[in-house]
Amino acid sequence: MSISTAPDQTPRVLCWLRRDLRLHDHAALHHALKSGLPVACVFIFDSTILDSLPADDVRLAFIHDSLLQVQEQLRQYGSELITAHGDPVQKIPELANRLNAKAVYANEDYEPAAMARDQTVSHTLSGQGMELKLFKDQVIFARDEILTQQRQPYTVFTPYKRNWLARIQSEDAQAYDCSQGEWAALPEQALPDLEELGFQEKSRAKLLSPAGWQGAQTLLEQFEPRIHAYHERRDFPAKRGVSYLAPHLRFGTLSIRQAVSLAWPSDSNGAATWLSELIWREFYQQFLWHHPETATESFKPAYKDLPFPNREDWFQVWKDGQTGYPIVDAAMRQLNQSGYMHNRLRMISASFLVKDLLIDWRWGEQYFAQKLLDYDMASNVGGWQWAASTGCDAQPYFRIFNPITQSRKFDPDGQFIRRYVPELASLDKQAIHAPWQAKQLPIEFRSGKDYPAPIVDHDTQRHLALALFKQAGEQEQAD
């Protein structure tokens, strides 16, 4: 690899990092390095997104830590990470001019707002005689690469997965070589710190696991010896059964090809089940690309205008983890404290919000969007519409999670509940899932005072939810 030390007017190409914060196995970077021109990496702290986030948002800490690693690596190559704070629609064309870029290379992003941004940037750059070149990177199969025999997008997961598995070839999972090419030698530039960007330095302490490419490699190494047991352990939030890699896939500190290579071809049930989850991720990405309206609308026409009572006070209680249903409260407190929630708990707490508290799935989707470190529009909307029975290949409306049964099954000893709801720590494993039903409670525990009484009766709410969905279905048939 060589370093360009030519003066500032040297022609260059820019590699614009977005949700791909790594310098390994990176499609756009690979192509930029092959362009024959020195490559400068840039990152924009996007004010159109950042301005709406709270100052203690843990995602900024994750991004910042990841960029520090990118910067350190670039310095080893004799280059520098260029950053700016503002609207990328202006900042990228400005930087491209300032750095005398001939083209800007980036990886495709399939979220509706990101696609609109890229279109505008591309237009402005072409007015400056430059090109925005986009590459597939964050998925194995994008957009309409996997369609039904009738050339329609899939709305059911199992046949999509069958087709995905039939299509994948070893070159699809092969890493992009980013070791050949020329880096731009640039004057040293410090990354703005979190405070300068309007965020709290202390939010870094909330990160549960390491960020950046190195953090992803550590998690991957830890997960590898556990992957064979994934199918047996993944539903138990108190066990270390899952990979915890979602933020790394979200911010691209791990390449999807490296993740897939861990599990494909699958040599155990655990690996096959984990690969299935990665395929769910692609299923939801292609679905959102074909149906961007589902980001804010139910996919099933009958359930577009479900007349949810939407009680604000109940919504607040759910957000605060004070519903009186221990497994739901433990889940919500885990989310509030760490920005993470286990998948089984996402399903339980989402179902509880919609089918017990009768609140619109979009309210819950928005709350998760604010809180999740791994928030990804396609997977979040997909997960919420699945739980709410309004989406593609969703849970049928009459299948309603019983939060007590779920709790007994997936946290049998109450170990997870005790970690996040310490008021219940003295309760035994029989009582902890539904304290108000317990025959015996510790003398010092004052039910309803030390911990709230259940906000609703599950059986009553279940019937109300069934009636609401049934009526909407019948109404549609009548129309």
Ligand X SMILES: Cc1cc2nc3c(=O)[nH]c(=O)nc-3n(C[C@H](O)[C@H](O)[C@H](O)COP(=O)(O)OP(=O)(O)OC[C@H]3O[C@@H](n4cnc5c(N)ncnc54)[C@H](O)[C@@H]3O)c2cc1C
Residues lying near ligand X in the complex (CB under 6 A)? 234, 242-246, 249-250, 274, 277-278, 280-281, 284, 343, 346-347, 350, 368, 372, 374-376, 379-380, 382-384, 387
Q: How far is the CB of 73 from ligand X (least distance, A)?
A: 24
Distance between CA 357 and CA 360 in Å, rounded? 9
Q: How far is the CB of 227 from ligand X (least distance, A)?
A: 9
Q: How far is the CB of 280 from ligand X (least distance, A)?
A: 4
Q: Which residue's CB is nearer to ligand X, number 39 or number 381?
A: 381
Q: Which residue's CB is nearer to ligand X, number 65 or number 80?
A: 65
Q: Which residue's CB is nearer to ligand X, number 182 or number 376?
A: 376
Q: Report which residue type is found at 103.
A: A
479 closest CA partner among 320, 301, 338: 301
Q: How far is the CB of 355 from ligand X (least distance, A)?
A: 13
Distance between CA 468 and CA 479 in Å, rounded? 17
Q: Which residue's CB is nearer to ligand X, number 31 or number 250?
A: 250
Q: Which residue's CB is nearer to ligand X, number 199 or number 352?
A: 352
Q: Which residue's CB is nearer to ligand X, number 245 or number 421?
A: 245
What phi-psi label fits residue 311: left (phi over 0), alpha (psi between -120 and 50 degrees) or beta? beta
Distance between CA 105 and CA 131 in Å, rounded? 8
Q: How far is the CB of 248 from ligand X (least distance, A)?
A: 8
Q: Which residue's CB is nearer to ligand X, number 321 or number 452?
A: 321
Q: How far is the CB of 409 from ligand X (least distance, A)?
A: 17
Q: How far is the CB of 278 from ligand X (least distance, A)?
A: 5
